[in-house]
């Protein structure tokens, strides 16, 4: 990642930038693990995994605050310009999205804990939920990889993948509504699963945000609210 940016007269400036990049990737790795573990917890009902994700939430929050502080101090002390300023702004936005992803994983585990504590061990439509989660996690992994490699073309592919995720979520939503209509006794549990499915779909949306930040960082163009054709032209041009 450092290869994209020219070296500065101040070696301390370079050291500060490298420290920020390193911390972002550490936070990204932890958040990615939270998502993986949250879905494993939902599948197994393993309370040790659930408690692990819940405990990790505090660490993710602390890293978020630390990175915000590092970026504020970088701007105040170094007054970065051009690509360096874009990097700092991208970090500020990306860590906000990463914290939100970790928060979703945390809440999925809390909901899973409630489901299994109630003795409702059979989770309806879990395979479909797991499929959505797999898509969302793949998008997150690819977005983080694009960030690490400053690959705007790969970031554009993550943005394009959101349409499939949305379609899968809407299909599951319709199925779960049918389940509740056919068996009113399932409404409470099915609503829990619907909430979890929505949380996983939201993780995909947040991964798209990270991918959009990557395009901005690399190309200097804001691709939010643009068509996929426009995103591809900017990111891959």
CATH number where 223 lies: 1.20.58.220
**Helix ranges restricted to H, 118-186:** 126-149, 152-182
In this structure, of 145-149, 184-188, 228-232, the range with the lowest mean pLDDT score is 184-188
**Residue 45's pLDDT is what?**
81
pLDDT of 231 > 90? The answer is: yes
Query: Model confidence over 201-210: pLDDT tens digits?
Result: 999 999 999 9
Q: CA–CA separation, 14 vs 12, rounded Å? A: 5
Give percent of the chain above pLDDT 90.
71
Q: CA–CA separation, 226 vs 232, rounded Å? A: 10
Q: Residue 66 in contact with residue 92, Cβ under 8 Å?
A: no
Q: CA–CA separation, 206 vs 133, rounded Å? A: 13
Token readout for 223 is 């691709």
User: Which runs of E-coded beta strand occur in the chain?
Assistant: none
Q: Residue 169 in contact with residue 199, Cβ under 8 Å?
A: no
Residue 28: Cβ-neighbour burial (10 angstroms; 0-12, 13-18, 19+): buried
**Residue 1's pLDDT is what?**
44
pLDDT of 95 > 60? The answer is: yes
Range of the domain at 136: 2-236
Give the CB-side neighbour count of residue 29, counting CA atoms within 13 A.
7
Q: Residue 94 in contact with residue 64, Cβ under 8 Å?
A: no
Give how far Cα 146 sits from Cα of 75, 91, 143, 182, 207, Å.
24, 14, 5, 44, 11
Q: Residue 165 in contact with residue 123, Cβ under 8 Å?
A: no
What's the domain count of the chain?
1
Mean pLDDT, range 156-179, rounded to an integer? 95
Torsion of CA 137, 28, 216, 90, to 10 degrees: 150
**Residue 225's pLDDT is what?**
96
Give how far Cα 77 sits from Cα of 36, 44, 71, 170, Å.
38, 49, 10, 48
pLDDT of 179 > 60? The answer is: yes
């Amino acid at each position: 990642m450092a290869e994209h940016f020219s070296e500065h007269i101040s070696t301390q400036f370079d050291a500060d930038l490298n420290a920020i990049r390193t911390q972002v990737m550490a936070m990204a790795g932890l958040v990615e693990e939270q998502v993986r573990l949250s879905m494993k917890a939902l599948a197994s009902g393993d309370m040790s995994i659930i408690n692990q994700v819940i405990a990790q939430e505090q660490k993710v929050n602390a890293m978020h605050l630390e990175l915000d502080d590092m970026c504020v101090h970088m701007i105040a002390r170094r007054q970065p310009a051009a690509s360096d300023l874009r990097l700092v702004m991208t970090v500020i936005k990306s860590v906000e999205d990463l914290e939100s992803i970790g928060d979703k994983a945390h809440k999925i585990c809390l909901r899973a804990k409630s489901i299994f504590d109630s003795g409702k061990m059979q989770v309806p439509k879990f395979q479909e939920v797991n499929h959505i989660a797999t898509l969302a996690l793949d998008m997150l992994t690819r977005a983080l990889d694009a960030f690490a490699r400053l690959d705007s073309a790969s970031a554009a592919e993550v943005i394009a993948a959101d349409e499939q995720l949305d379609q899968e979520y809407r299909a599951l939503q319709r199925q779960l509504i049918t389940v509740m209509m056919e068996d009113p006794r399932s409404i409470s549990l099915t609503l829990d699963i619907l909430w979890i499915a929505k949380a996983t779909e939201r993780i995909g949306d947040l991964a798209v945000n990270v991918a959009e930040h990557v395009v901005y960082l690399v190309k200097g163009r804001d691709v939010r609210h643009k068509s996929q054709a426009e995103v591809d032209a900017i990111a891959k041009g």
